[in-house]
C-alpha cells in the first residue's frame, strides 16, 4: 500500500494532503457539509498537483529541460543564453537535474508571490537560485504556487534526478552553451525529454 502511494503521489506532499483531509473531515462533522465538500475537492486537487510522474532516462551530453512548461522568452546577454519557462499549476512539478552536476550554490529568498509577469515579481516573489557548473537556474514562484520543496540531502545530481518540487511560476535558465536552434517562444518543453542545448 505504501509503495503504491509512493508511486502515485510525491512524498513531499503527504503532510499537506493529510492535514487537508483531517481538516475537511472535522469541518464535515462539526460545522458544514458544504464547506467540507469544498475542502475535499481542494484535497483532491492537491493530490493531482503533487502526482508522481517520474521517468527514468539515459544520461546524455545535452542540457535537458528540468521541468514541464512553456517557453515564454529567450534572451541573449553577455555571451549567455537565458531561457524563461512558465510552469502552470496543472503541469508536472518535478524539477530535475538538466545535466550531471554538483550543486555549487543554493540560495532561497522568501517573499510575497505576485504574478511573475509583473514588474516587481523578481524583487518581491519567493526566489530560489541554483548554480550547477556552467548553468544558473532561478525558480520564481507565482501567486498560484503551493510551495517549493528542495531535496537538500544531496549536492551531486545525475541528469534527470529530482532536485525539487516546483508547483507554479517561472524557471529562468542561464546557459553558457549555444541553445537548440529549434526552440521557439510558446513551445512546450518536457522534463528530462526536451533538449535545450
CB 161 within 8 A of CB 97: yes
What is residue 94's predicted lDDT score, i.e. its pLDDT? 79
Tens of pLDDT along the chain (197 residues) come to 555 566 677 767 777 788 888 888 888 788 877 888 888 888 888 777 777 766 666 667 788 888 888 888 888 888 888 888 888 877 777 778 788 877 777 778 877 877 777 777 777 888 888 887 788 888 888 877 776 767 666 677 787 778 878 888 888 888 876 666 678 888 888 877 777 77
CA atoms within a 13 Å half-sphere pointing along the CA-CB vector of 167: 20
Q: How far is CA 52 from CA 91, 144, 174, in A?
A: 12, 19, 27
What is residue 181's predicted lDDT score, i.e. its pLDDT? 66
CA separation for the pair 194, 74 (Å, rounded): 15
SS3 39: helix
Amino acid at each position: 500500500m505504501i509503495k503504491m502511494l509512493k508511486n502515485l503521489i510525491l512524498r513531499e506532499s503527504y503532510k499537506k494532503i493529510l492535514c487537508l483531509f483531517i481538516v475537511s473531515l472535522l469541518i464535515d462533522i462539526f460545522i458544514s457539509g458544504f464547506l467540507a465538500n469544498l475542502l475535499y475537492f481542494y484535497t483532491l486537487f492537491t493530490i493531482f498537483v503533487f502526482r508522481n510522474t517520474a521517468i527514468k532516462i539515459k544520461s546524455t551530453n545535452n542540457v535537458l529541460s528540468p521541468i514541464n512548461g512553456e517557453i515564454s522568452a529567450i534572451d541573449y546577454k553577455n555571451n549567455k543564453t537565458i531561457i524563461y519557462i512558465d510552469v502552470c499549476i496543472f503541469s508536472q512539478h518535478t524539477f530535475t537535474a538538466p545535466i550531471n552536476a554538483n550543486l555549487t550554490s543554493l540560495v532561497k529568498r522568501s517573499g510575497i508571490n505576485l504574478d511573475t509577469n509583473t514588474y516587481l515579481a523578481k524583487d518581491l516573489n519567493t526566489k530560489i537560485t541554483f548554480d550547477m557548473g556552467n548553468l544558473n537556474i532561478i525558480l520564481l514562484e507565482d501567486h498560484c504556487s503551493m510551495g517549493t520543496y528542495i531535496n537538500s540531502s544531496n549536492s551531486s545530481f545525475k541528469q534527470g534526478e529530482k532536485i525539487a518540487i516546483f508547483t507554479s511560476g517561472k524557471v529562468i535558465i542561464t546557459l553558457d552553451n549555444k541553445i537548440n536552434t529549434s526552440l521557439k517562444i510558446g513551445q512546450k518543453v518536457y522534463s528530462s525529454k526536451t533538449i535545450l542545448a
